[in-house]
Amino acid sequence: MKTDMDRKLRDFVGAKTAKQFTDVLNIETVGDLLRHYPRRYLKKGELTPFNELEIGDQATVNGRVKKVTVRSLDTKAEIPLVEVSKWSRRKTLTKVVVTDGEHDLELAFFNQPWLATKLTPGTSALFWGEVTMFRDIMQLKGPGTEILDDEDLTEAEIERRARPFRPLYSATAKLPTATIERSVKIVLDNLSEELEDPVPELIRRKEKLLGLVEALQKVHLPDTEKDISEAQNRFRFEEALVMQTILAQRRAVTDALKAVPRPRTAGGLLDEFDKRLPFSLTAGQSEVGDEIFADLERAHPMHRLLQGEVGSGKTVVALRAMLSVVDNGGQAVLLAPTEVLATQHHKTLQKMLGDLALQGMLGGADHATKVGLLTGSLNAAGRRTAMLDAASGAAGIVVGTHALLEDKVQFADLGLVVVDEQHRFGVEQRAALSAKSGENTPHVLVMTATPIPRTVAMTVFGDLSVSTLTELPAGRSPIQSSVVPAKQKPEWLDRAWARVREEVGKGHQAYVVCPRIGDDVKNATDEEGDLAAGDEEGDGKKQARPPISVMQVAEALGEILSDLRVEILHGRLPAEEKDAVMTRFAAGEVDVLIATTVIEVGVDVPNASTMVIMDADRFGISQLHQLRGRVGRGKVPGLCLLVTDLWDGSKSYGRLAAVASTTDGFELSRIDLETRREGDVLGVAQSGKRSSLKLLSVLRDEEIIFTARHVAQSLISVDAELAEYPALRSFVQSALESEQTEYLEKT
Ligand code: ADP
Ligand code: MG
* Residue 555 CA neighbour count, 13 Å, CB half: 7
DSSP-assigned beta bridge partners for residue 414: 331
How many Å lie between the centroid of ligand 2 and the Cα of residue 606? 13
How many Å lie between the centroid of ligand 1 and the Cα of residue 310? 9
How many Å lie between the centroid of ligand 1 and the Cα of residue 527? 25
Q: Where in the chain is the domain with CATH 2.40.50.140?
A: 45-162
Please state the atom number of ligand 1 nearest to the C-alpha of residue 604. Answer: 7
Task: Say yes or no: CB of residue 473 within 6 Å of ligand 1.
Answer: yes
**Proximal ligand: closest to the CA of 341:** 2
pLDDT at 698: 74
DSSP-assigned beta bridge partners for residue 226: none
Task: Say yes or no: CB of residue 632 within 6 Å of ligand 1.
Answer: no
pLDDT at 519: 66
Task: Say yes or no: CB of residue 308 within 6 Å of ligand 1.
Answer: yes
DSSP-assigned beta bridge partners for residue 480: 639
Indicate the helix (H) or strand (E) that contains 40: strand 40-43
**Proximal ligand: closest to the CA of 319:** 1
Indicate the helix (H) or strand (E) that contains 569: strand 566-569
Q: Where in the chain is the domain with CATH 3.40.50.300?
A: 269-469, 479-662
Residue 210, C-beta contacts closer than 8 angstroms, at least 6 positions apart = 204, 218, 230, 231, 233, 234
Indicate the helix (H) or strand (E) that contains 712: helix 702-718
| Residue owning the nearest CA to atom 1 of ligand 1 | 311
How many Å lie between the centroid of ligand 1 and the Cα of residue 663? 16
Are the C-beta atoms of residues 21 and 28 closer than 8 Å to each other?
Answer: yes
Hey, which CATH number is domain 269-469, 3.20.20.150, 3.40.1080.10, 3.40.605.10, 3.40.50.300? 3.40.50.300
Mutate to test the pocket of ligand 1, among 273, 274, 276, 279 (most ligand atoms within 8 A of CB): 279
Task: Say yes or no: CB of residue 282 within 6 Å of ligand 1.
Answer: yes
Q: How far is CA 54 from the centre of its chain?
A: 29
Please state the atom number of ligand 1 nearest to the C-alpha of residue 280. Answer: 23
d(CA 574, CA 280): 39
Per residue in 548-590, pLDDT (tens digit) is 999 999 999 988 999 999 999 998 888 889 889 998 999 999 9
pLDDT at 683: 46
DSSP-assigned beta bridge partners for residue 671: none
* Residue 163 CA neighbour count, 13 Å, CB half: 22
**Proximal ligand: closest to the CA of 469:** 1
**Proximal ligand: closest to the CA of 312:** 1
Residue 698, C-beta contacts closer than 8 angstroms, at least 6 positions apart = 453, 455, 456, 459, 678, 681, 682, 705
Task: Say yes or no: CB of residue 57 within 6 Å of ligand 1.
Answer: no
Please state the atom number of ligand 1 nearest to the C-alpha of residue 629. Answer: 3
How many Å lie between the centroid of ligand 2 and the Cα of residue 154? 68
* Residue 205 CA neighbour count, 13 Å, CB half: 2
Asked if CATH classification 2.40.50.140 holds for the domain at 45-162, the reply, yes or no, is yes
Task: Say yes or no: CB of residue 396 within 6 Å of ligand 1.
Answer: no
d(CA 137, CA 533): 30
Mutate to test the pocket of ligand 1, among 315, 353, 467, 626 (most ligand atoms within 8 A of CB): 315
Per residue in 457-480, pLDDT (tens digit) is 666 655 678 888 888 887 777 789
Write the DSSP assignment of 116-179 as a string of letters. Answer: HHHS-TT-EEEEEEEEEEETTEEEEEEEEEEESS-SS--HHHHHHHHSSEEEE-S--SSS-HHH
Give the closest residue to 684 by CA, choosing from 675, 695, 696, 692: 692
Are the C-beta atoms of residues 484 and 272 closer than 8 Å to each other?
Answer: no
| Residue owning the nearest CA to atom 18 of ligand 1 | 313
How many Å lie between the centroid of ligand 1 and the Cα of residue 591? 23
Task: Say yes or no: CB of residue 279 within 6 Å of ligand 1.
Answer: yes
d(CA 150, CA 558): 73
d(CA 617, CA 710): 42
CATH of domain 479-662: 3.40.50.300
Please state the atom number of ligand 1 nearest to the C-alpha of residue 282. Answer: 23
pLDDT, mean of each 10-residue run, the chain (747 residues):
79 92 91 91 72 81 91 90 83 92 89 86 84 85 74 65 78 79 91 88 96 96 94 95 88 83 94 94 95 95 86 93 96 88 90 88 78 87 90 94 76 92 61 68 86 66 76 79 91 94 95 87 40 35 71 92 94 87 93 89 84 93 86 86 86 87 80 62 41 75 90 93 93 74 43
How many Å lie between the centroid of ligand 2 and the Cα of residue 427? 23
Residue 710, C-beta contacts closer than 8 angstroms, at least 6 positions apart = none
How many Å lie between the centroid of ligand 2 and the Cα of residue 312? 8
d(CA 387, CA 689): 43
Give the closest residue to 231 by CA, choosing from 220, 241, 242, 243: 220
Task: Say yes or no: CB of residue 633 within 6 Å of ligand 1.
Answer: yes
Please state the atom number of ligand 1 nearest to the C-alpha of residue 317. Answer: 6
| Residue owning the nearest CA to atom 20 of ligand 1 | 313
Task: Say yes or no: CB of residue 313 within 6 Å of ligand 1.
Answer: yes
Task: Say yes or no: CB of residue 316 within 6 Å of ligand 1.
Answer: yes
What are the helix and strand counts (H, E) for the chain? 28, 21
d(CA 146, CA 161): 10
